[in-house]
Amino acid sequence: MSVEQHIEELRAELRSLTDENELRQVEAELEAALAERDRLWREDG
């Protein structure tokens, strides 16, 4: 799975979550995935 696909899946998951703990966990995963995407973009640029 690409980083972009992972980010989209995490965003979709966030829209459906109601549990605060799960929400925080997925938000943290999304932040990490966004940071990874940015790192990859900087390496390519």
Q: In the chain, what are the domain boundaries?
A: 3-44
Amino acid at 20: E
Count Cα neighbours of 18 within 13 Å in the Cβ-side half-sphere: 0
Residue predicted with more confidence, 1 or 4: 4
Please write the tens of the pLDDT for every residue from 8-31: 999 999 999 999 999 999 999 999
Give residue 45's pLDDT band: very low, low, confident or very high (50, 70, 90).
confident
Residue predicted with more confidence, 45 or 19: 19
